């Protein structure tokens, strides 16, 4: 593992696949021009709209999005995370899928979101992700890369379930991806502190691409894509505008924190 720059992309995705992919490419280009070698796109980066519309277009979205991720990774010579897009299943529902590809456009890791967002938010909005999404049944793998470290994947609501991240740290993760479309209401209170907690308790870098602004109808997302170091320090925060958060991933910093705070070695209960 070497020192390198990573980018957490922040988008305002809408119910239009091609507009979203065009926006994503602009932001990948921006990140690469600033030196990023690992780039993460947020949950729902390819399509963010009504669940029924997503379901109706799922096969097309899946095909175009996988092709897009492979093409972009090769074109810009980066390792690229697509942080969440629908892939149809035999059940008629979709998997909310995170896909990591290398600079050759080849798949490194694939994760189907396990925890589905079925919540009555106090702002009056109700979310039932399980009406159209099938939950994954497997804990995420940790992808071992030669130069970028060991990378674990999760998606959005997963961040409230620390056991999934402890599993990844047990498997040797250095970097935890948390691509999200966090609601504005919950995000203002919980987003940053949850990300910092996952970084601190696992002594890992956290890279959290995000959705921001009004995506469709009353759906408003929190923003604040960020990168956090293993001590819990916020290295970069994209605020509430479309853009990128870029910061250094430094193996010496990782080793220093783990040496100074060896909590993973002190665990009693597994």
Q: Any idea which residues carry the catalytic annotation?
A: 43, 113, 156
Q: How far apart are CA 85 and CA 160, in angstroms?
A: 20
Half-sphere exposure of 230 (CA within 13 A, CB side): 23
What value, to the nearest 5°, has the Cα angle with vertex 168 and ends 166 and 169? 65
Residues ≥6 apart with Cβ < 8 Å to 49: 14, 15, 215, 216
Contacts of residues 260-269 at CB distance under 8 Å and 24 or more positions apart, as own/partner, are 261/203, 261/231, 263/201, 263/203, 264/169, 264/202, 264/203
Instruction: Name the residue with tokens 């979205």.
Output: 61
Q: Which of 52, 61, 56 is nearest to 16 (CA)?
A: 61
**The CA-based dihedral angle spanning residues 140, 84, 65, 56, taken in that order and rounded to the nearest 10 degrees:** 120
d(CA 117, CA 127): 6
């Amino acid at each position: 593992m070497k020192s390198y720059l990573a980018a957490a992309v922040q988008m305002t995705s809408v119910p239009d696949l091609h507009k979203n992919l065009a926006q994503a490419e602009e932001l990948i280009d921006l990140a690469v021009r600033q030196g990023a070698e690992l780039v993460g796109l947020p949950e729902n980066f390819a399509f963010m709209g009504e669940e029924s519309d997503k379901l109706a277009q799922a096969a097309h979205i899946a095909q175009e999005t996988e092709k897009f991720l492979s093409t972009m990774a090769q074109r810009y010579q980066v390792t690229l995370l697509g942080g969440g897009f629908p892939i149809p299943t035999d059940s008629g529902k979709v998997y909310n899928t995170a896909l990591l590809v290398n600079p050759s456009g080849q798949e490194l890791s694939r994760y189907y979101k396990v925890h589905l967002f079925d919540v009555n938010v106090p702002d009056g909005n109700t979310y039932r992700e399980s009406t159209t999404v099938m939950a994954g049944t497997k804990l995420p793998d940790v992808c071992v890369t030669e130069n970028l470290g060991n990378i674990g994947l999760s998606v959005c609501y997963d961040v409230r379930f620390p056991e999934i991240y402890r599993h990844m740290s047990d498997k040797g993760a250095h970097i935890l991806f948390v691509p999200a479309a966090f609601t504005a209401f919950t995000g203002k209170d919980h987003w940053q502190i949850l990300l910092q907690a996952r970084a601190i308790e696992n002594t890992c870098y956290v890279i959290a691409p995000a959705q921001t602004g009004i995506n469709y109808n009353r759906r408003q997302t929190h923003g604040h894509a960020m990168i956090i170091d293993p001590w819990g320090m916020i290295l970069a925060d994209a605020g509430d505008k479309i853009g990128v958060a870029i910061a250094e991933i430094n193996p010496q910093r990782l080793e220093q924190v783990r040496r100074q705070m060896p909590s993973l070695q002190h665990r009693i209960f597994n």
